[in-house]
Structure 1
Amino acid sequence: MTTALTTEADPYILPLPGPDSPVVLDRWISAGNTHPNSRYGDDIWSMGPLTDNPGESVHKINWKRCPATLRSEFRRLVWMLINGELRPTYIRERGFQNRTRDGVLNMRDNILQWLKFARWLDRQGVSQLSDCTMEHWKA
């Protein structure tokens, strides 16, 4: 008989964040990092807790740059990008470069593209990702 893993036992399943949840979960913050951690409900999220190099810029996500109709969905996506990681089996099966997470600069670049995509979708009259058609995805 096999036993299914519960959510608590599976570190790859993230809990849904609430307004006061930290933007960066503690497990991704280095011991010496002193950058303040934003809260999920904040209008601006700092990526400082992911930045350990003192000479590196601290990137921020301004949620006012995301259309209000799509903001909650994109917040969840970005939060999962920041805090999630790919299972090692997924990496091995697809031949990726043995990394389960992106670095902060790649995350920032992806997030900027996603925010552009959200603004484009808004101009197309799309107010939730489930309303995207194949034509939207192709464009």
Structure 2
Amino acid sequence: MTHPLSVPLQLSAETPIIQPDRVVAEYTGPIARYDAPVWPLDPLIANPSAPRRRIHWASFPLIMQPELRFLTYQMINTELPERLLIGRHPAWRTRQSPGAIYMTCRIWAGLSRWLAARSVPTLAACTPELFREYSDELVREGGLARNSVQYHLIALIRLWAFDTCSPHPIGICEPPWSHEGIDDYLPPATSGGENVTEPITPDTMGPLLIWALRMVEDFAPDILAAWAENRRLHTQVQHTRASSRSRTALDAYLNDLAARGAPLPTIRQPGRLVAAGTYIAGLTGATPAQVTRRIKEPKWARYRD
């Protein structure tokens, strides 16, 4: 039997999972299609050092994949209406970051697997009683801390919220903790947690915030310039091929260091200093492998210490 959401509304198997207005300006790569087995969230990520996130649909029960694909598409490409944020915690936003989208999908996958194991065929069949039972298991058997359980329960409120504001709602019921309050569904706070720690006084926080702002204002241009240079060197060495010319340039660089008594550029790894191979390769036009081989030669032993 064809699932009613196998091709929802205006979407098709070829629909890009991320619409153009959501793609960051820095991204120029491909965008996955709606029926792809994996949805990379790279087009949403502007920070090149941020983790790459992938939604793997094989981790979702097959019977619920059409529903969850559609709701995930909604979460990626649409905003929650402001009316659904009234009375929520200030941390609630109309849109989530790529990392939060990924974690929310993992939580949705966990609920869907739990339901499928109980022969519940659709999210619309998840009753308030089933939601309560699932939250009890998170507390009793999940071994999760209070904040983690809270994160899970909020993600399940979002599941209902995105269905509610969808142009094609499935009919997911509102989790009871959404309107009853979430505290009664959480494990008790333990000593030493954030909520029971003595707050830091304004006399302490004030100077810390001032110096944090100064750090950003005074050093941001240098930090950004260093990051850009780091990326340039890494990109350069990735496209460099070893040659006799690059080997000659590397030898000349190392010989000059030795003649001047200058230290070898190094980076710190756990417990030791090692040669900054990428940096030296970028300066000389050599490859990192050429740098590694040269530095291992007995002639340069004292520079490795």
Task: Please give the per-residue CA displacement for 1:80-107, whole angstroms capped at 9, x wherever unaligned.
Answer: 111110234554x446458321111111
Secondary structure of the equivalent of 1:125?
A: coil
1:133 deviation in Å? 2.3
Q: Which residue of 2 aligns with 1:59?
A: 53
Q: Which residue of 2 aligns with 1:74?
A: 68
Return the alpha-carbon distance in structure 2 between the equivalents of residues 55 and 63 of structure 1.
25
Return the alpha-carbon distance in structure 2 between the equivalents of residues 20 and 117 of structure 1.
28
Return the alpha-carbon distance in structure 1 between the equivalents of residues 84 and 36 of structure 2.
33
Q: Is the Cα–Cα contact under 8 Å of residues 36 and 48 in structure 1 kept in the other structure?
A: no
Q: Which residue of 2 aligns with 1:138?
A: 132
Query: Amino acid of the residue matched to residue 11 of structure 2?
Result: P
Aligned ranges 1:72-111 → 2 under 5 Å: 72-88=66-82, 90-91=84-85, 93-94=86-87, 96=90, 99-111=93-105
Q: Where do 5+ consecutive residues of structure 2 fail to align?
A: 1-8, 134-305
Q: Is the Cα–Cα contact under 8 Å of residues 112 and 123 in structure 2 kept in the other structure?
A: no
Higher RCO (Cα < 8 Å, 6 or more apart): 1
Q: Which residue of 2 aligns with 1:38?
A: 32
Q: Which residue of 2 aligns with 1:121?
A: 115
Q: Is the Cα–Cα contact under 8 Å of residues 42 and 53 in structure 2 kept in the other structure?
A: yes
> Does the C-alpha gap of structure 1 residues 114 and 89 become closer, same or farther in structure 2, counting only changes over 3 Å?
closer
Q: Where do 5+ consecutive residues of structure 1 fail to align?
A: 1-14
Return the alpha-carbon distance in structure 2 between the equivalents of residues 137 and 90 of structure 1.
20
Rg bigger for which structure? Answer: 2
Secondary structure of the equivalent of 1:61?
A: strand
Query: Amino acid of the residue matched to residue 121 of structure 2?
Result: S
Query: Amino acid of the residue matched to residue 29 of structure 1?
Result: V
Secondary structure of the equivalent of 1:137?
A: helix
Task: Please give the per-residue CA displacement for 1:31-74, whole angstroms capped at 9, x wherever unaligned.
Answer: 22124211111011000111111111211011111111111011
Q: Percent identity?
A: 27
TM-score, normalised with respect to structure 2: 0.38
Q: Does 1:24 find its partner at 2:8?
A: no
Return the alpha-carbon distance in structure 2 between the equivalents of residues 77 and 124 of structure 1.
22
Q: Which residue of 1 aligns with 2:41?
A: 47
Q: Which residue of 1 aligns with 2:180?
A: none
Query: Amino acid of the residue matched to residue 53 of structure 1?
Result: N
Task: Please give the per-residue CA displacement for 1:100-127, whole angstroms capped at 9, x wherever unaligned.
Answer: 2111111111111001111111101111
1:138 deviation in Å? 1.2
Query: Amino acid of the residue matched to residue 28 of structure 2?
Result: T
Query: Amino acid of the residue matched to residue 116 of structure 2?
Result: D
Q: Is the Cα–Cα contact under 8 Å of residues 17 and 31 in structure 2 kept in the other structure?
A: yes
Q: Which residue of 1 aligns with 2:106?
A: 112
Return the alpha-carbon distance in structure 1 between the equivalents of residues 80 and 39 of structure 2.
23
Secondary structure of the equivalent of 2:39?
A: strand
